[in-house]
């Protein structure tokens, strides 16, 4: 088996989808115009999808109150992590912590997107994915 998508309940799926398309390179694979207003977002590989929706049957988690190690989305950062941190903070992210980056070390940055969800930028010394 392989993962089709990972889903997140968010306050404003449309704004969330628009930001992830503009700043993280996602594309909208499908938008569902029902009560939950779901968006299926494909990453740059086209192999991984994130669903964001707002189902009124349940509350929206307060991601900003969750420790960043509880749940986070990790992204392969092919370029310079420091440059990406600067670009994303200008787009509304906040920095939680930056780790590594020395010769032969992974360079990791943990941020929060504008909705408080923890996202991680990963530049691995030895890539984990092809």
- Residue 17 · residue 8 · CB < 8 Å: no
List, for residues 17-72, the tens digit of each pLDDT value.
999 999 999 999 999 988 889 999 999 999 999 999 999 999 999 999 999 999 99
Q: Which of 89, 113, 88, 121 is nearest to 17 (CA)?
A: 113
Per-residue model confidence (pLDDT) at position 86: 98
Q: Which of 12, 20, 19, 15 is nearest to 54 (CA)?
A: 12
For the chain, give every domain's residue range.
Answer: 5-53, 63-123
CATH T-level fold of 5-53 = 2,3-Dihydroxybiphenyl 1,2-Dioxygenase; domain 1 (3.10.180)
- Other beta carbons within 10 angstroms of residue 67's beta carbon come to 9
pTM for the complete prediction? 0.93
* Domain 63-123, second-level architecture: Roll (3.10)
């Amino acid at each position: 088996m392989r993962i089709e998508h990972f889903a997140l309940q968010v306050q404003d799926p449309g704004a969330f989808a628009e930001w992830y398309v503009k700043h993280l390179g996602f594309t909208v694979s499908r938008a569902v115009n029902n009560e939950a207003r779901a968006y299926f977002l494909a990453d740059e590989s086209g192999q991984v999808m994130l669903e964001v929706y707002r189902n009124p049957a349940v509350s929206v988690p307060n991601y900003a109150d969750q420790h960043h190690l509880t749940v986070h989305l990790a992204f392969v950062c092919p370029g310079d992590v420091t440059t990406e941190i600067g670009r994303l903070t200008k787009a509304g992210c906040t920095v939680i912590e930056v780790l590594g980056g020395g010769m032969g070390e992974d360079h990791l940055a943990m941020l929060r997107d504008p909705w408080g969800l923890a996202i991680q930028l990963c530049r691995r010394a030895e890539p984990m994915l092809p």
